[in-house]
Amino acid sequence: MADTAKPKTGTARSSGTRRRGRRDTAAGLAGETPDVLLDYYRQMLFIRRFEERTAQAYTQARIGGYCHLNLGEEATVVGLMTALQQRDYLFTNYRDHGYAIGKGMDPKRVMAELYGRSDGVSRGWGGSMHMYDTETRMLGGYGIVGGQLPLATGAALAISYRGGDEVVMCQMGDGTTNIGAWHESLNIAKLWNLPIVFVVINNFTGMGTTVDMSSAEPELYKRGSAFRIEGERVDGRDVLAVRDTAARLVERAREEQTPFLLEAWSHRMKGHSVVDPAKYRTDEQKDEARSEENDPIALFGARLSEAGILTDELRDELAASVKEEVAEAADFAENSPHPDVSTLFDYTYATPVPNESRRMPADPVFAE
């Protein structure tokens, strides 16, 4: 087990400004080409602006239901999605918009799903928590905490059974590590040597409950050891570190046909969901979570600027093009029709269920 970039506490406390004052060399930027680095920067910025637009649309009542954002987790999202091959499968919790886009879904259709419109990836019936698309192999956003774990483990079993070389990545939050499905899934995954990487996004809180308050072992990457699953921790604010660590574990899962556990820590910039004012956090904690020191985009932007890759001009250009693309997604969603009410039960049950107001969904379909 590796122990890198270690958070000492379950509260939203920074582990320091490791990047400050250090001049990045090409090696510090993983020897990557400027094009690749700028692409990561743009992807992170895109998720940031997309989520901000989502929050705005929510307050305008264009988006309904529950809605959770990836603000502060952009480097983790982009790093993880870059580590996956196209043929690999992804399962996430409800904080799924950035992942859906990162796995290859059209942002316009993701926004349309948020608006509950028929051009959405789940035809408008899923909403924020249920992005799903077999083509890009994003097999869901799940609203039940831990609900994705047994399903992801089952997908890994299917791969193993068929002798495939795909890998499953299963994302979740820190709070999920105390759900029964966590223990059952990790146990089976190791017992049956399944090609799956469980990724815990440690943003230090499950809603308002800190990791220290909820976990007897708050060093989350160690939690796989009960199942003899190797675990690593990575600084989730660092897109390159996340990419490299995740890619290594994904490829090992593919080669060795065995599960791994990755913990990526970063700060949740806002409340648990768009309607949560996060009153359980002190002003100091709020400031810290939103500070430049913990903002993955500001951190990476500074590194690229220092290395002479991101000029002021380029920064403005990227900001403008991202703004435009997000606005296009919102326009697309706005202009997409609402799904027809007659399709309400079409995608809920495997067998047909008549859409009758007097019959409850669970009632037998063909009862006399």
Which residues sit at the interface with ligand TPP, rule CB under 6 A?
A: 93, 95, 143-145, 172-176, 201, 203, 206-207, 272
Closest to ligand TPP by CB, 95 or 281: 95
User: Nearest CA to 127 among 189, 57, 227, 193?
Assistant: 57
By beta-carbon proximity to ligand TPP, the closer residue of 48 and 95 is 95
Answer for the pair 123, 343: CB distance below 8 angstroms, yes or no: yes
Q: How far is the CB of 110 from ligand TPP (least distance, A)?
A: 18
Smallest distance, ligand TPP to C-beta of residue 102, A: 16
Contact between 307 and 29 under an 8 Å Cβ cutoff? The reply is yes
Read off the DSSP letter of residue 221: G
Distance of alpha carbon 167 from alpha carbon 254, whole angstroms = 6
Between 68 and 303, name the residue whose CB sits nearer to ligand TPP. 68
Closer CB to ligand TPP, 148 or 258, in the complex: 148
Which residue reads 């982009």 in tokens? Answer: 78
Please state, in angstroms and rounded to a whole number, the distance separating the CA atoms of residues 120 and 299: 33
Write down the least CB distance from residue 23 to ligand TPP, Å.
34
Distance (Å, rounded) from C-alpha 334 to C-alpha 303? 37
**Is the Cβ of residue 172 or residue 274 nearer to ligand TPP in the bound state?**
172
Tell me the closest approach of the beta carbon of residue 89 to ligand TPP, in angstroms. Answer: 20
State the Cα–Cα distance between residues 226 and 51, nearest whole angstrom.
37
Nearest to 305 by CA among 76, 23, 43, 12: 23
Strand runs labelled E in 94-144: 138-142
C-beta of 72: minimal distance to ligand TPP in Å?
11
Angle in degrees, CA 156, 186, 83, rounded to 5: 55
Minimum distance of ligand TPP from residue 270's CB (angstroms) = 11
Which residue's CB comes closest to ligand TPP? Answer: 173
Of residues 138 and 159, the one with the C-beta less far from ligand TPP: 138
Q: Which is nearer to ligand TPP, 37 or 114 (CB)?
A: 114
* 90 sits in which H/E element: strand 89-93
Residue carrying the six token digits 């949560």: 276
Residue written as token pair 């083509």: 135
Residue 185 or 203: the one with the smaller Cβ distance to ligand TPP is: 203
Sheet architecture: strand order including 89-93: 138-142, 89-93, 168-173, 196-202, 260-265, 231-235
Shortest spacing between CB 28 and ligand TPP, in angstroms? 30
For residue 363, the minimal CB distance to ligand TPP (Å) is: 26
Nearer to ligand TPP, 143 or 259 (CB): 143
Phi and psi, residue 200, nearest 5°: -100, 120
Give the type of residue at 292: E
> Residue 145 Cβ, how far from ligand TPP at the closest point, in Å?
4
CB of 10 to ligand TPP, least distance (A): 11
SS3 79: helix
Q: How many CB atoms lie under 10 A from the CB of residue 165?
A: 13
Buried b (16+ CB within 10 A) or exposed e, 120-153: bbbbbbbbbbbbbbeebbbbbbbbebbbbbbbbb
